[in-house]
């Protein structure tokens, strides 16, 4: 398996970059999305997750893990939690 085939994974949670992108897709299109709805690119996914984190009324660990993975994939410095 090459490095590109190995999914990027959160160091403390069982969560991958693909999971984070799929979460952003669900946020963008809703739970009943069409199979043809595209997966957002990383900057668009970051914005979708950030908006969702601002509006949820609780400590959303899944959203935070997704945002950390997306920021890392975007080349940003991340403090993993």
Mean pLDDT by 10 residues, the chain (81 residues): 65 95 95 92 96 89 95 94 88
Is 40 part of a structural domain of the chain? yes
Residue 35 falls inside a structural domain: yes
Structural domains in the chain (count):
1
Cα–Cα distances in Å, from 13 out to 40, 42, 66?
Answer: 22, 19, 10
In a domain, 78, yes or no: no
pLDDT score at 59? 85
- The pLDDT value recorded for residue 3 is 47
pLDDT at 6: 60
In the prediction, which pLDDT does 2 show?
42
SS3 label, residue 59: coil
Res 1: pLDDT? 40
In the block, residue with structure tokens 């991958």: 16
| 3 in any annotated domain | no
């Amino acid at each position: 398996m090459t490095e590109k085939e190995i999914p990027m994974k959160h160091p403390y949670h069982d969560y991958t970059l693909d999971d984070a992108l799929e979460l952003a897709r669900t946020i963008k299109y809703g739970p009943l999305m069409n199979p043809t709805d595209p997966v957002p690119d990383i900057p668009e996914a970051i914005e979708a997750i950030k908006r969702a984190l601002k509006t949820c009324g609780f400590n959303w660990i899944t959203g935070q893990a997704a945002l950390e993975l997306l920021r890392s994939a975007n080349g940003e410095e991340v403090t993993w939690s």
